[in-house]
Amino acid sequence: MLPVTLIVGGVPTEPITDLALVIEGPIVRLSWSPVVGATLYHIYKSDEPYSGWSLLGTTTLTSWNLLYNGDRNFFQVTWD
C-alpha cells in the first residue's frame, strides 16, 4: 500500500470526482476528466488532510506530474 491519499474538491461548480493518481518510479501523475466551463485547474498539496495546503501550480490541462519523494501527501484540485 502506497502512503498517498487523495482529497478531491472543486470550486465553484461540481467537484472533481474522478481524480486519479499513478506513481511510476519517481513520478506522481495526477489526472482527471475535464470540467465543463473550467478554464484553469489549481493543484494543491499538503502533509495534512484538512490544512496546510500549498499551491503546486496551475494548468489548463487535465493532468499534473510531480516528483514522488516517498512522503505521505494529500492532493486537491480546484478550478475556475
pLDDT digits (tens), the chain, 80 positions: 444 555 555 444 455 778 899 999 999 999 999 998 899 999 989 999 888 989 999 999 999 999 998 889 999 898 88
Give the pLDDT of residue 8. Answer: 55
- Report the domain count for the chain: 1
**Beta sheet of 27-31, edge-to-edge order:** 20-24, 27-31, 63-67
Instruction: Please tell me the pTM assigned to this model.
Output: 0.79
**Beta-ladder partners of 55:** 44
**3-class DSSP assignment, residue 46:** strand
Domain extent for 32: 4-79
Q: What is the CATH number of the domain that holds 70?
A: 2.60.40.10
Cα(42)–Cα(5) distance, integer angstroms: 18
Identify the pLDDT of residue 11: 40
pLDDT at site 4: 52
